[in-house]
Amino acid sequence: MNIQMNIMRLGNENKRGAYVFNGKPLEFYLALVGSALFVFQRTWVQSKQRSVVIVAISTLLGYSLAPDVGAILGRSETLSVVLTTTLIFWLLDLVLSVIQDVDTKQLVAAAANRISSLFFGGSTK
């Protein structure tokens, strides 16, 4: 009886916990690809180059930060890769939209005025 239960348990572990690459289960990579597709779909209406860059950054950071986020949250790496990838996407999108809203000429002029007043005591207008 005990031998049969051990065999059944090993059989379930082999079906569910098959490790594919780098010690991570198949579900981890499916979650990573799914969250990358979500980011890709959300950014595709913008420029195509920007979309590819955002997808690449959020996917790579999601992959690399997932073990640490999973350890901090006490959850699996599969859940943490989805959370991390989408959170990084939203943060990148927020930062890029803020940067785009700022007029570059005004930003450079303000920086030049500040540097000029610090070093020369005057203003450049």
Q: Does 79 fall in a domain?
A: yes
- Tens-digit pLDDT profile for residues 36-95: 999 999 888 878 888 898 999 999 999 999 999 999 999 999 999 999 999 999 998 888
Give the chain's domain count.
1
Q: Does 95 fall in a domain?
A: yes
- Tens-digit pLDDT profile for residues 32-45: 999 999 999 988 88
Q: Does 85 fall in a domain?
A: yes
Q: Does 107 fall in a domain?
A: yes
Rounded CA separation 55/107 (Å)? 28
* Dihedral angle sign, alpha carbons of residues 71, 38, 36, 92: negative
- Is residue 9 scored above 50 in pLDDT? no
Give residue 38's domain range: 2-119
Rounded CA separation 55/45 (Å)? 13
Q: Specify the pLDDT at position 78.
A: 92
Q: Does 125 fall in a domain?
A: no
Q: Tell whether pTM > 0.85.
A: no
Q: Does 87 fall in a domain?
A: yes
Q: Does 102 fall in a domain?
A: yes
